[in-house]
Amino acid sequence: MLLVAEPILGEEEKAALAAVIDDGWITMGDRVRAFEQAFAEAHGARDAVAVGSCTAGLHLVLLALGLGPGDEVLVPSMTFVATANSVLYTGATPVFVDIEGVDLPLISPSDAAAKCTERTKAVILVHYAGYLPDREAWRDFAQSRGLLLIEDAAHAAGLPQAGRIGDAAVFSFYGNKNMTTAEGGMVFAEDDAVLDTVRQLRAHGMTSGARQRLTGHASGYDVTMLGFNHRMDELRAAIGLVQLARLPAWNATRRDLAAHYRRRLAQDCPDVVMPFADPRPSAHHILPVLLPAGIDRQRLADDLRGDGVQTSVHYAPVHSFTFYRERFPGVNLPRTEEFARRTLSLPLHPKMGTDDVESVTRALARALAHQREDVPQ
């Protein structure tokens, strides 16, 4: 089965894990700090804070920026549910915004403007599929309204421009991401005080950690805020350091595979649309396509699975889930809903080659043809 996503893990990761075990210090030590500094340097950031997940990072960033009850945060519905969940964790309210179009499934500035109120305090920009929104347009949008800009950069690890748009950014190292630590995330912030607050919040609000006390950099600790247990351990950081070194080459492979997909889809499946036709920076995390209207997507996915090709859907709109539908009834996002009905994610990861791309597009063409053959003339 050719999978939608597949991590690359091998002997270097095993050796890195073994070294942590041999050292005997397995949480919040030198490797976590080294990973923070290396990841920040790779993206042109001054510093970073490693956390247990991207979700945890979003939660802590929103808290550190002062979001809370009574505040509204503009979020796209075309995202993983954690984006909206993190807003609710703070007591603030997510306000769902439509995408720009089915061919550009990024949060719409015009719809965001229409949904601003006196309670709107922030916008979360999701770098869907690894593609960046327009930096200058969104900075102008936020500055003209006095809003905070937060980047949900879960799909954009290794993209130098990611983390450079807003007041803070959070990356993901989940198992299906461009690089992985199994679970984990990383936080950037423009304001060092915000980053310091995130660093303290991730560890129960304590003013020093066990490693600092062991090495004599602190003799004790105080608790000055209500914190959480959102730390990263040394094992994950060790894997992260290995993965980070390979990330540029992996992302280059993803870019080349995505370009080959675009050429082959145009040849084999001309009525299948690959979004983001206009060039823009991307980490090419996933490869969503837009199926022709009227196609039975589940039947198509079943046919592709029979041909050895796994597919997925990224994503069901957050506002369509029962939990959100009951709390925020009447949300109408026509472009998001149209995209969600027709999108299908095809395999994309660095273990693939161009021959795999061609196998996928040929299988997709066959599956589409099978459905058309069954349509009464």
Residues taking part in catalysis: 177
Distance CA 38, CA 79 (A): 28
**Which of 347, 321, 318 has the alpha carbon at shortest distance from 80?**
318
- Phi, psi at residue 104, to the nearest 5°? -145, 75
Q: Tokens 């993965």 appear where?
A: 243
Which tokens go with 4?
A: 């939608």
Q: Which amino acid is at 99?
A: I
Distance CA 232, CA 186 (A): 9
Distance CA 49, CA 53 (A): 11
